A and B are shown apart, each in its own frame.
Chain A
Amino acid sequence: MLSTKNLNKSFGSLVVAQDVALELPKGVRYALIGPNGAGKTTLINLLTGMLRPDSGQIFLGGAEITGLKPEARVRQGLARTFQINTLFPQLTALESVTIAVLEREGHAHNWWRLLSRFTPAIDEAHGILASLRLGDVANRATRELAYGQQRLLEIALALATRPRVLLLDEPAAGVPKGESAELFAVISSLSSELTVLFIEHDMNVVFRFASRIIVMVGGRILVEGTPDEVGRDPRVREVYLGKHARAA
């Protein structure tokens, strides 16, 4: 569904992506792991067009999207969330998600009809919020929502674009450990048609919810495989447990 060929990006002498070749099939739940500074968020920024690669190509559903603007990629079905809440503080949860639905449906340019006339869009936005257990707080301003609810709203905004591929940058960042499993239960209940790639540091969560794992180190993909394969790989153990693991 989403693939890349020889993706390269560097900031000066710092290489943040080196010959990255990905192949994410439809419906798979991918975890993207790796130490800090491995280039995980950079990869999401490259895929979504927020950064331009120095070289290489990106394909979505077989069509090349390397040259498209971020908003055009979203319209093609590539959505993301942010590690740090990137929401609309003064807007209500419902208003926020409604914008995304209206943009998708091509109504957002309409400056003459009243918003309340767009009932299908509003109902859909409310339905998305309800499915993420945010139905009760739909009319509250975003800044008044609990932190965990704001993390869910991040996902609701992305879902409202009706993505084919969803990239989640540490969806549980800042959420207490006990609650992150709850958040991932929501993620794993998403449509099986949807390809999901998430960045996560908690290995328990990763091994529980990912069907495949990509390990990135220093801007390169070190290993890609099932949780079992990745868990057994000596190179991964070295990265995560240090050189002592090999000596032991």
Chain B
Amino acid sequence: MASADQYFERQARLRPLEIAFWLATLLPFVVAPNYLSLASQIAITALFALSLDLILGYAGIVSLGHAAYFGFGAYTAGLLSKHYIGEPLTGLVLSGITAGLLGYATSHIIIRFRHLALIMLTLGLGLLLFEAANSASAFTGGADGLQGVKISPLLGFKFDLYGRTAYAYSLAVLFLVFLVARRIIHSPFGLALRGIRENALRMPAIGAPSLAHLRKVYTIAAVMAGVAGALLTQTTSTVSLEVLSFGRSADVLVILILGGAGRLYGGIVGAIIYMVARDQVSGMNPQYWYFWIGLLLVAVVMFLPNGILGGLSALYKKPQ
């Protein structure tokens, strides 16, 4: 029986490659000090993709409107700093909570649907929130963006022009949330989620309240997306309507599919590749940027159906 327990223990153990990966995320401070703002954006996008991975990769909920929670968190953080409190950590927590409340409220509708209906529903919800923010311009600044975001220093560190504080902050939050997500997927709840993804019909037949599980993971993912949105607001001191846009929802889905859904690191690796490529390519010919992303997406989906990480892990397993 000991081997049965060890199986789950082995699954949850931190691998050397993972430790190496997280140490490598510190490299930009040394080797690319001029790109720390970009690195910070990548960490935020990675966090957003990680949140999508929890619902898509682990629970099988496909969403084309995940920016709703990202944007809700971003605006909450912006409005909090403008009217009440500029301290970033408090703002981050409160933004996560409000996004989570929105996630919980909307989860009751969303998790009842699957497939095409689910995609349309999440898409519609995203559009709804975007237009609501657009028309409530007295409150949100509308198309001009929210003016007057004022973020206090983080634990005494000012948000500098080079993005040093920004990247350190984003990376630390990404790492902490990653640890939570990792804990979740190696918990009984995480296993139940994979069960729902694998066979939603069987779960009630073994006594599982699938809808309650799905509501819970959707709420958790919304909190994480809201935290990512708040990070963007706090590190850039601006909020524009773009945080709620369909483009952002689509981008994060593309990032996750590129990197590989259902493996935690997929969203992070996808974010690094996507954002670095965009930074490089758009420097050359910005208007054709989506051509290359389209090409990459087609190639990955055709040849690496489990994303770049899925392809790599297959390559790694083969010789054994």
B5 touches A103 (CB 8 A): no
| A88 nearest in chain B by CB position | B198
A226 at interface by CB-CB < 8 Å: no
Interface presence of A112 (CB below 8 A): yes
Q: Is the CB of A111 within 8 A of B191?
A: no
8 Å CB contacts to B: which residues of A54-101? Answer: 69-71, 74-75, 79-80, 82, 86-92, 94-96, 98-100
Contacts of B208 on A, CB cut-off 8 Å? 71, 99, 103, 108
Q: Are B198 and A71 in contact (CB under 8 A)?
A: no
Is A110 a contact of B204 with CB atoms below 8 Å? no
What are the interface flags for B1-24 relative to A under an 8 Å C-beta threshold, 1 for contact and 0 otherwise? 101111111011000000000000
Chain B 193-220, CB-CB to A under 8 Å as 1, else 0, gives 0110011011111111110110010001
Q: Are B201 and A69 in contact (CB under 8 A)?
A: no
Given A79-B205, A114-B12, A114-B183, check contact A86 B199 (CB 8 Å).
yes
B204, A74: Cβ atoms under 8 Å? Answer: yes
The listed residue (A104, A115, A121, A161) touching B186 by CB distance below 8 A is: A115
With A71-B209, A88-B198 known as contacts, the answer to whether A122 contacts B192 (CB < 8 A) is: no
B179 to chain A, nearest CB (A): 12
Partner of B192, one of A86, A99, A160: A99
Query: Which chain B residues border A125 with CB–CB below 8 Å?
Result: 4
Please state if A161 and B206 are interface contacts (CB–CB under 8 Å).
yes
CA distance A158 to B210 in the complex (A): 17
The reply to whether B4 and A122 form a contact with Cβ atoms under 8 Å apart is: yes
Contacts of B198 in A (CB 8 A): 88-91
Residue pair B192, A71 in contact (C-beta under 8 Å): no
Of the candidates B1, B207, B220, the one whose C-beta lies within 8 Å of that of A103 is B207
Q: Pick the contact of B206 from A99, A111, A121 — CB < 8 Å?
A: A99
Question: Which residues of A sit under 8 angstroms from B191, Cβ to Cβ?
Answer: 91, 95, 98-99, 102, 108, 115
Which of A50, A108, A116, A157 contacts B8 (CB under 8 A)?
Answer: A116
> Are B195 and A88 touching (Cβ within 8 A)?
yes
Q: Are B213 and A108 in touch, CB under 8 angstroms? A: yes
Chain A contributes a number of interface residues (CB within 8 A of B) equal to 50
Q: Given the known inter-chain contacts A79-B205, A157-B206, please indicate yes or no for A114 contacting B186, CB distance below 8 A.
A: yes
- 8 Å CB contact of A80 from B186, B195, B205, B216: B205
A123-156 residues with Cβ-Cβ distance < 8 A to B are: 123, 125-127, 138-139
A104 and chain B: residue at smallest CB distance: B207
Question: Is B5 touching A102 in the complex (CB atoms < 8 A)?
Answer: no
What residues on A are CB-neighbors of B129 within 8 Å?
none
Which chain A residue lies CB-closest to B210?
A71
Interface size class of B (residues with CB under 8 A): 35 or more
A177 within 8 A of B: no
CB closest residue in chain B, given A119: B5
A246 proximal to B (CB < 8 A): no
Contacts of A91 in B (CB 8 A): 191, 194-195, 198
Is the CB of B102 closer than 8 A to any CB of chain A?
no
In the assembly, what is the distance between CA of A94 and CA of B195, in Å? 12
> B190: CB under 8 A from chain A?
yes
Residue of B with least CB distance to A109: B189
- A103 to B204 alpha-carbon distance, docked (Å): 10
Cβ of B188 within 8 Å of any chain A Cβ, yes or no, is: yes
List the A side residues contacting B4 at CB < 8 Å.
Answer: 94, 122-123, 125-126, 138-139
Q: Are B7 and A86 in contact (CB under 8 A)?
A: no
Contact at A113–B188, with CB atoms within 8 Å?
A: yes
- Cβ–Cβ < 8 Å partners of A74 in chain B: 204-207
Residues of A within 8 A of B (CB): 48, 50, 69-71, 74-75, 79-80, 82, 86-92, 94-96, 98-100, 102-104, 107-116, 118-119, 121-123, 125-127, 138-139, 157-158, 160-161
B residues lining the A interface (CB < 8 Å): 1, 3-9, 11-12, 183-184, 186-192, 194-195, 198-199, 201-210, 212-213, 216, 220
A-B contact pairs, 23 of them (CB 8 A): A71-B205, A80-B205, A86-B201, A86-B205, A88-B199, A95-B194, A98-B191, A99-B208, A102-B191, A103-B206, A103-B208, A108-B188, A108-B208, A110-B189, A111-B188, A112-B187, A114-B183, A116-B8, A116-B11, A123-B5, A125-B4, A138-B7, A157-B202
Q: Using A50-B205, A103-B192, A161-B206 as known contacts, list a sample of 12 further A-B pairs with CB atoms less than 8 Å apart, ordered by residue number in A.
A: A74-B205, A82-B205, A87-B202, A88-B194, A89-B198, A91-B194, A99-B206, A103-B207, A108-B192, A112-B187, A114-B187, A116-B186
